């Protein structure tokens, strides 16, 4: 099976705003990441704020162009943002953001906003009927469609955004923190809705979140990001059962677990990641409880540590394991 989405060694930098002394900095938000998403697969992207996960999501949709590396969608290079070829592809790739109120127009009934992509992409047919079907698919009624965004709850508004994203029948959905603005009880409902829709439609999905509890529910594979790089990637079951990278171990140990806790709690100390002040060597070394002297100067490569499981840590490299025997 060929990948629906292939990110190959992509990197993206940006220049910061002027600081107190008028200086600007070049920040590498995403730094050499390779990931794939197969049709019908959900890839979870986990990381703290500043890890580069949203920039990665935007490059996956062609909203930003990598400075290095390339993105392919369904085997073909991603066209440049805004070109006719990109706009033609856009109906097959949709995004759901964190803030549904910001994504919707307060002045329009929501059904008009749900059917808008059909008009934008010149898709013929009975738009009203398609809008009602989309509302029903996300668990809302025709009456909800006549309301304005401020007349709906946060969870209902996010359902509207999902209906709008799915009305063009896309093959790829990128969700960037789609439930983090919602109450915990509503989060589970929206995540279950996404799981059902993804399975019914065979959607490829990139699910970006800082919340491991949510990613655990929805993702088949998970990539953990730290300061623009992937530090661990594995099947979700392996990653949550036996996380290998010290950063992932700390995240998993702190997240609520459905069963008995198997991993000793690791408390992360030090400052959260600041993309404008990347530490030398392994970027995690100032916070790592098991750092070695070489970690301050040598950046570990992401390498395979088991079938389908990769991590970037000197302690986990094949050479380190041989030396430890």
Contact between 282 and ligand SF4 (CB under 6 A)? yes
Contact between 288 and ligand SF4 (CB under 6 A)? yes
Contact between 79 and ligand SF4 (CB under 6 A)? no
Residue 238, both tokens: 């392996």
Which of residues 263 and 315 has its CB atom nearest to ligand SF4 in the complex? 315
CA–CA gap between residue 24 and residue 69 (Å, rounded): 25
DSSP, collapsed to helix, strand or coil, labels residue 151 as helix
Which of residues 111 and 231 has its CB atom nearest to ligand SF4 in the complex? 231
Burial 152-186 (b: 16+ CB within 10 A, else e): bebbbbbbbbbbbbbbbebbbbbbbbbbebbeeeb
- Residues 37-56 within binding reach of ligand SF4 (CB under 6 A): none
CA–CA gap between residue 112 and residue 145 (Å, rounded): 8
Q: In this chain, which stretch among 41-49, 185-193, 271-279, 308-316 interacts with ligand SF4, using CB under 6 A?
A: 308-316
CA–CA gap between residue 232 and residue 244 (Å, rounded): 8
- Residues 139-198 within binding reach of ligand SF4 (CB under 6 A): none
CA–CA gap between residue 285 and residue 287 (Å, rounded): 5
The distance of closest approach from Cβ of residue 295 to ligand SF4 in the complex, given in angstroms and rounded to an integer, is 3
CA–CA gap between residue 155 and residue 236 (Å, rounded): 26
CA–CA gap between residue 228 and residue 209 (Å, rounded): 15
The distance of closest approach from Cβ of residue 84 to ligand SF4 in the complex, given in angstroms and rounded to an integer, is 45
List the x/- string, 216-255, binding to ligand SF4 by CB under 6 A. ------------------------------x---------
What letter would DSSP give residue 38?
-
Residue count at the site for ligand SF4 (CB under 6 A)?
13
8 A C-beta contact, residue 4 and residue 21? no
Which of residues 99 and 298 has its CB atom nearest to ligand SF4 in the complex? 298
The distance of closest approach from Cβ of residue 195 to ligand SF4 in the complex, given in angstroms and rounded to an integer, is 32
Contact between 295 and ligand SF4 (CB under 6 A)? yes
CA–CA gap between residue 283 and residue 264 (Å, rounded): 23
Which of residues 130 and 315 has its CB atom nearest to ligand SF4 in the complex? 315
Which of residues 199 and 290 has its CB atom nearest to ligand SF4 in the complex? 290
The one among 101, 123, 263, 315 contacting ligand SF4 by CB under 6 A: 315
CA–CA gap between residue 26 and residue 308 (Å, rounded): 34
Q: In this chain, which stretch among 28-36, 79-87, 154-162, 288-296 interacts with ligand SF4, using CB under 6 A?
A: 288-296
Contact between 273 and ligand SF4 (CB under 6 A)? no
CA–CA gap between residue 160 and residue 156 (Å, rounded): 6
Residue 317, both tokens: 């490299």
Contact between 313 and ligand SF4 (CB under 6 A)? yes
Q: In this chain, which stretch among 7-15, 174-182, 264-272, 287-295 interacts with ligand SF4, using CB under 6 A?
A: 287-295
> Torsions phi, psi of 174, nearest 5?
-110, 120
Which of residues 235 and 315 has its CB atom nearest to ligand SF4 in the complex? 315
Which of residues 4 and 222 has its CB atom nearest to ligand SF4 in the complex? 222
Q: Is 19 exposed, middle or buried (0-12, 13-18, 19+ CB in 10 A)?
A: exposed
Contact between 285 and ligand SF4 (CB under 6 A)? yes
The distance of closest approach from Cβ of residue 199 to ligand SF4 in the complex, given in angstroms and rounded to an integer, is 35
Q: Given the rule CB under 6 A, which residues bind ligand SF4?
A: 246, 282, 284-285, 288, 290-292, 295, 300, 313-315
């Amino acid at each position: 099976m060929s990948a629906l989405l292939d990110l190959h060694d992509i990197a993206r930098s940006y220049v910061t705003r002027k600081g107190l002394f008028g200086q600007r900095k070049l920040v590498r938000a995403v730094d050499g990441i390779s990931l794939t998403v197969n049709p019908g697969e959900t890839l979870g992207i986990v990381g703290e704020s500043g890890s580069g996960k949203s920039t990665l999501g935007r490059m996956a949709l062609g909203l930003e162009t990598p400075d290095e590396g390339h993105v392919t969608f369904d085997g073909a290079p991603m066209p440049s943002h805004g070109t006719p070829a990109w706009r033609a592809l856009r109906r097959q790739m949709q995004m759901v953001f964190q803030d549904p109120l910001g994504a919707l127009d307060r002045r329009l009934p929501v059904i008009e906003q749900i059917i808008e992509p059909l008009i934008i992409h010149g898709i013929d047919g009975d738009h009203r009927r398609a809008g009602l079907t989309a509302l029903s698919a996300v668990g809302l009624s025709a009456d909800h469609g006549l309301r304005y965004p401020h007349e709906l709850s946060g969870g209902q508004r996010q359902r509207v955004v999902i209906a709008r994203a799915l009305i063009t029948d896309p093959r790829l959905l990128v969700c960037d923190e789609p439930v983090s603005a919602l109450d915990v009880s509503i989060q589970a409902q929206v995540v279950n809705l996404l799981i059902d829709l993804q399975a019914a439609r065979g959607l490829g999905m990139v699910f970006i979140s800082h919340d491991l509890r949510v990613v655990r529910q929805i993702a088949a594979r998970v990539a953990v990001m730290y300061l623009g790089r992937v530090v661990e990637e594995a099947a979700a079951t392996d990653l949550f059962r036996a996380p290998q990278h010290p950063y992932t171990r700390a995240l998993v140990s702190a997240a609520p677990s459905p069963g008995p806790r198997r991993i000793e709690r690791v408390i992360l100390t030090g400052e959260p990641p600041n993309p404008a002040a990347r530490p030398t060597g392994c970027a995690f070394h100032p916070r790592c409880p098991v750092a070695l002297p070489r970690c301050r100067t040598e950046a570990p490569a992401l390498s395979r540590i088991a079938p389908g499981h990769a991590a970037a840590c000197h302690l986990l490299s094949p050479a380190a394991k041989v030396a430890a025997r």
